Amino acid sequence: MDAALLLEYGWVLLILIALEGILAADNALVLAIMVKHLPEEKRKKALFYGLAGAFIFRFGSLFLISFLVDVWQVQALGALYLIFIAASHIFKKYVRNKGNHAHTNKDIKKDSFWTTVIKVELADIAFAIDSILAAVALAVTLPETNLGTIGGLDAGQFTIILLGGIIGLVIMRFAANQFVSLLERKPGLETAAFLIVGWVGVKLAVYAMAHPSLHIISHDFAHSGLWKGMFWVILLGIGAGGWFLSKEKKHTENEAL
C-alpha cells in the first residue's frame, strides 16, 4: 500500500473512531439506565454479559456481511436503515420529545437480573447493527488493496471495518464516560453524529444505485474524486457545525458555590 492509500484508510479509521465514540457514549447512557435498578455487582455483570454477546455478534455479522456487501439489495436496505435511524433520532429529540430528554425512575421497570441481561444484549445488538452498517458504508468505497479478499470484501476494507467494530466496543466499555462528559458539555455533537450516520447512509445509497445491476447513476461518479470530495466536505461540515454551534453547558451550580 502506498502512502496516499494509507492516508485515505487512516483518515476513514479516524472518522470511524470519532463516530463510534459519540454513538458509544449515547448507547452507554441507555445501558446505564437499563441496569440502574440492579445492585452494583450485578450491574457490572449484566453489562459484561451484554457486551460479550455484542462482541460475538459483531464478529459473526461482520463475516456474514462480507459475503453479502456486494448485493445491491443489502446495500439499499443498509442505506435506508442508516437514514431512518438518523431521521428517527432527530424527530424524537426535536419534535416528539422536545424539552424532555431524561428518563425518570418511574419509566424504568425493575426487571430481574437475567431479564435485564437479555434487554442489554438486545440493545447491544441494535447498537452493533448501526455501527457495523456505518463502518461498511464508509469502507466499501475505499480503494481496493493488493492484500486479497475476505468474503466479498477487500482485505483492507474488511480490516478497517473490523478495527472500527473493536474500537467501538472498547470505547463503550472503557472510554464511554469521557465521551458522556463531552456530550454533556457539547450536546450538539450527538445530533451531529446522527446526521453523519444519515449522510453515510446517503453515501451507501449512491454506491447501491451505481451497482452494475441497477446502474441508476454512473459507476464512475460514485467512485469519482468529485463525489468523494463532496462527501468529506459535507461530513466535516456537519462535525464542525456540531462542535462550534453547540451551546456549551456550564455548571452554574458549581460556579455559585
Most confident segment among 2-6, 115-119, 128-132: 2-6
pLDDT at 148 exceeding the cut of 80 = yes
Q: Map out the domains of the chain as residue ranges.
A: 3-256
Rounded to 10 deg, the angle between the 176-185 and 3-35 helix axes is 90
Supply the pLDDT for residue 234.
93
Q: Given pLDDT bands bounded at 50, 70 and 90, which one contains residue 16? A: confident
Q: What Å distances lie between residue 240 and 227, 228, 243, CA to CA?
A: 20, 18, 5
More confident residue, 216 or 188: 216
Mean pLDDT of 198-221: 88
Mean pLDDT of 124-134: 73
More confident residue, 176 or 139: 139
Mean pLDDT of 72-90: 86
Q: What Å distances lie between residue 150 and 11, 43, 183, 236, CA to CA?
A: 22, 38, 36, 30
More confident residue, 222 or 49: 222
Q: What is the pLDDT of residues 22-50, one digit of tens each?
A: 776 666 666 666 677 778 778 778 777 77
Most confident segment among 57-66, 119-128, 147-156, 192-201: 192-201
Supply the pLDDT for residue 102.
46
**Cα dihedral 129, 135, 137, 140 sign:** negative
Quick one: what percent of the chain has pLDDT higher than 90?
Answer: 5
Query: Grid coordinates representing 134?
Result: 456505518
> Which ranges of the chain does DSSP label H, i.e. alpha helix?
3-35, 40-68, 72-91, 113-139, 155-170, 176-185, 188-209, 219-222, 225-244, 252-256
pLDDT at 13 exceeding the cut of 50 = yes
